[in-house]
């Protein structure tokens, strides 16, 4: 029996005066953090929030998100982080799908809410507005600042109790609520710092949006489990990251590859002292050799870069791999995302759930305490995703005899050209090897003869020059002829999600 706020209670008791959080011009010690969490827990409790109730947080990347998250944990409520970039129909769909009962929303976002929200979504009982924008029918979030001394005792919960509900469409179709229990989080989130080699003296630079599982795990949770210090940025900005690393002596930087590209290829990177960086974790896309070389050149040859594989339905991290350069300057095991972490089993299976031999492409399937409780109120979809205890990820991969595995591609991104399977990642890897390419993505385009053909999109590095013809010629030297894109378009920048991950769907034509 436990509570997700137990780690914060422990750190406030053991090291109350240690700086936990730095945001803009203000610092919070662990004692400060617990005081402010208890204040909000008292306010939520007085507003009628109770154990098991679902609280949606649609907030900017500020400490208030963290304080309300842990206040909800203290009460035994279920936290539902919400993408702050969602528009009206997306907000409505999430509220309905997850049956959010209390919403805390940034004032700047309230114009996205329909006027008859409560009529259409009767589960939603209270809406608290943070900052300017409080209107009719809304409560001022300032009312959630209660007396810390009146905060209820931490709710005593079982491992199977729901703690976090994340909204995702990662494995199948329409977005849905992923239910994560205390046991899921304790077995995965709480062990991540150890798996990543993090220490209590870390100074984490967090420039990821807080509603994303990457930030929830390797940012907020790792901070509090370790009793470390975090520098929180309101939004990602390459110059702000360089300044924070140099002045705050940050040691740990969780970031997606496009963030690393912008930081370590920044024109002024050489003017900042980045030697304090010990560890970088990344995921969502391969780490190009050129970026790893830049990290070692601009920070330290000893800076460790770790890539991870995981998905929301499997809590967070499922495998990790230290990315290294060989003597020839190329990546060792360039396609590997590592081995399964302790307590996680990973198999490559065929469509009938049979394990495939080494070197054979199949679906990546995961088993262990990390596997979600299921999709909220979607038993059929849950049964489709979890079969015989195995979570079917929708990712295609290959396993090696030593347990290393690689992602070939998403099932839905597979291109079938005249009966030949083409994996966009293979083409993207070839494009990234061209010295002028900063970003690359490949999608399927319909073709009257072949069914589908690959089309490539690239963004060039600053001041680099290359033509589509030259890049296609480069592909021809590295790829089988059927894999070479039939066309290539150069854009200023490729479309990305809030975490900086390139979105192939943003390149697909509508209809």
Angle between helices 257-264 and 238-248 (to 10 degrees): 80
Task: Grade residue 510 by pLDDT with cuts at 50, 70 and 90.
Answer: low
**38 lies in a domain?**
yes
Q: Which of 165-169, 206-210, 297-301, 395-399 has the lowest mean pLDDT?
A: 165-169
**426 lies in a domain?**
yes
**343 lies in a domain?**
yes
Both tokens of 163, joined, read 């703690």
**For a pLDDT cut of 70, what percent of the chain falls above it?**
97
pLDDT for res 171: 47
15 or 168, higher pLDDT: 15
pLDDT for res 419: 67
**181 lies in a domain?**
no
Q: Both 221 and 337 in a single domain?
A: yes
CA-closest candidate to residue 260, choices 323, 193, 334:
323
Q: Which residues of 449-470 are buried (b: 16+ CB within 10 A; e: fewer)?
A: ebebbbbbbbbbbeeeebeeee
The range of the structural domain enclosing residue 34 comes to 6-16+25-157
Q: Both 148 and 235 in a single domain?
A: no
CATH number at residue 46: 3.40.50.980
Is 80 exceeded by the pLDDT of residue 411? Answer: no
Q: Both 322 and 434 in a single domain?
A: no
**178 lies in a domain?**
no
Is 90 exceeded by the pLDDT of residue 441? Answer: yes
Which range has highest mean pLDDT (12-21, 90-99, 107-116, 394-403)?
12-21
Asked if 79 and 66 touch (Cβ cutoff 8 Å), the reply is no
Q: What pTM was computed for the model? A: 0.86
Q: Both 261 and 335 in a single domain?
A: yes
Q: How far is CA 328 from CA 35, 40, 281, 324, 393, in A?
A: 53, 55, 23, 11, 35
H or E element that contains 321: strand 317-323
Report the distance separating Cα 203 and Cα 20, nearest Å.
9
Q: Both 401 and 442 in a single domain?
A: no
CATH number at residue 496: 3.30.300.30
Task: Grade residue 37 by pLDDT with cuts at 50, 70 and 90.
Answer: very high
pLDDT for res 1: 63
Is 90 exceeded by the pLDDT of residue 33? Answer: yes
Domain boundary pick from 365, 393, 409: 409
Q: Which of 103-107, 114-118, 344-348, 482-486 has the lowest mean pLDDT?
A: 114-118
Is 90 exceeded by the pLDDT of residue 247? Answer: yes
Is 80 exceeded by the pLDDT of residue 285? Answer: no
What values do phi and psi take at 72, rounded to 5?
-65, -45
Is 80 exceeded by the pLDDT of residue 412? Answer: no
Task: Grade residue 90 by pLDDT with cuts at 50, 70 and 90.
Answer: confident
Question: Which residue in the block uniquely carries the two structure tokens 């630079």?
Answer: 205
Question: Which residue in the block uniquely carries the two structure tokens 């005066």?
Answer: 17
Report the distance separating Cα 417 and Cα 423, nearest Å.
11
Task: Grade residue 264 by pLDDT with cuts at 50, 70 and 90.
Answer: very high
Is 90 exceeded by the pLDDT of residue 443? Answer: yes
The residue-averaged pLDDT of 44-55 equals 96
474 or 87, higher pLDDT: 474
CA-closest candidate to residue 275, choices 305, 254, 295:
295
Rounded to 5°, the CA angle 171-207-440 comes to: 55
Q: Both 221 and 135 in a single domain?
A: no
Is 90 exceeded by the pLDDT of residue 504? Answer: no
CATH number at residue 291: 3.40.50.12780
pLDDT for res 409: 74
Q: Both 229 and 283 in a single domain?
A: yes
Q: Both 212 and 70 in a single domain?
A: no
Q: Both 199 and 58 in a single domain?
A: no
Is 90 exceeded by the pLDDT of residue 384? Answer: yes
Domain boundary pick from 409, 440, 460: 409
Q: Both 100 and 231 in a single domain?
A: no
Long-range contacts, stretch 83-91, CB < 8 angstroms, 24+ apart: 83/58, 83/167, 83/209, 83/211, 83/498, 84/58, 84/59, 84/60, 84/109, 84/209, 84/211, 84/498, 85/498, 86/58, 86/112, 87/112, 88/112, 88/113, 88/114, 91/58
Rounded to 5°, the CA angle 374-375-376 comes to: 110
pLDDT for res 161: 98
Task: Grade residue 356 by pLDDT with cuts at 50, 70 and 90.
Answer: very high
The residue-averaged pLDDT of 277-287 equals 86
H or E element that contains 396: strand 390-399
User: Which residues lie below 8 Å from residue 419, measured CB to CB, with a gap of 6+?
Assistant: none
pLDDT for res 286: 72
78-81 and 54-58 beta bridge pairing: parallel
pLDDT for res 170: 47
Both tokens of 177, joined, read 């609520």
Q: Both 148 and 212 in a single domain?
A: no
Q: Both 328 and 457 in a single domain?
A: no
Is 80 exceeded by the pLDDT of residue 182? Answer: yes
The residue-averaged pLDDT of 300-326 equals 93
Number of domains forming the structure of the chain: 3
Q: How do residues 126-176 score in pLDDT, each as one tens digit?
A: 999 998 877 677 899 999 999 999 999 999 999 999 999 999 854 445 679
282 or 86, higher pLDDT: 282
The mean pLDDT of the chain is: 92
């Amino acid at each position: 029996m436990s509570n997700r706020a137990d780690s914060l209670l422990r750190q406030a008791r053991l090291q109350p005066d240690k700086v936990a959080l730095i945001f803009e011009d203000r610092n919070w010690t662990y004692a400060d953090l617990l005081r402010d969490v208890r204040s909000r827990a008292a306010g939520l409790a007085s507003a009628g929030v109770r154990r098991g109730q679902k609280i949606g947080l649609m907030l900017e990347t500020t400490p208030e998100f963290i304080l309300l998250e842990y206040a909800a944990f203290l009460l035994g409520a279920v936290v539902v982080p919400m993408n702050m970039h969602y528009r009206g129909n997306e907000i409505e769909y999430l509220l309905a799908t997850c049956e959010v009962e209390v919403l805390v929303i940034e004032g700047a976002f309230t114009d996205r809410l329909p006027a008859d929200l409560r009529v259409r979504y009767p589960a939603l009982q209270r809406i608290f507005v943070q900052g300017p924008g409080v209107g009719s029918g809304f409560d001022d979030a300032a009312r959630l600042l209660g007396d810390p001394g009146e905060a209820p005792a931490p709710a005593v919960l079982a491992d199977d109790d729901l703690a976090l509900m994340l909204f995702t469409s990662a494995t199948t179709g329409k977005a849905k609520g992923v239910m994560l229990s205390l046991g899921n989080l304790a077995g995965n989130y709480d062990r991540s710092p150890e798996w990543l080699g993090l220490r209590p003296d870390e100074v984490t630079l967090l420039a990821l949006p807080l509603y994303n599982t990457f930030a929830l795990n390797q940012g907020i949770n790792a901070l509090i489990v370790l009793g470390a210090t975090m520098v929180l940025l309101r939004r990602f900005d390459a110059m702000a990251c360089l300044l924070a690393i140099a002045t705050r002596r940050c040691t740990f930087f969780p970031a997606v590859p496009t963030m690393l590209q912008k930081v370590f290829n920044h024109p002024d990177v050489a003017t900042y002292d980045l030697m304090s960086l010990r560890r970088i974790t990344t995921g969502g896309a391969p780490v190009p050799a050129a970026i790893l070389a830049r990290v070692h050149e601009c920070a330290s040859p000893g800076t460790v870069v770790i890539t991870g594989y995981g998905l929301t339905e499997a809590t967070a991290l499922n495998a990790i791999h230290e990315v290294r350069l060989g003597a020839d300057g190329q990546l060792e095991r360039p396609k590997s995302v590592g081995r399964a972490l302790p307590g996680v089993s990973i198999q490559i299976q065929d469509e009938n759930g049979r394990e495939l031999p080494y070197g054979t492409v199949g679906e990546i399937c995961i088993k262990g305490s990390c596997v979600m409780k299921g999709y909220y109120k979607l038993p059929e979809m849950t049964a489709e995703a979890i079969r015989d205890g195995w979570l079917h990820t929708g990712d295609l991969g290959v396993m090696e005899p030593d347990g290393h595995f690689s992602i070939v591609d998403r099932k839905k991104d597979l291109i079938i050209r005249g009966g030949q399977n083409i994996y966009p990642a293979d083409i993207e890897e070839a494009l990234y090897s061209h010295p002028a390419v900063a970003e690359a993505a490949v999608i399927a385009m319909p073709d009257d003869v072949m069914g589908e053909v690959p089309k490539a999109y690239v963004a060039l590095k600053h001041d680099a020059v290359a033509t589509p013809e030259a890049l296609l010629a480069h592909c021809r030297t590295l790829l089988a002829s059927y894999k070479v894109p039939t066309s290539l378009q150069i854009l200023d920048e490729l479309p990305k999600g809030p975490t900086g991950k390139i979105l192939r769907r943003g390149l697909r034509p509508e209809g």
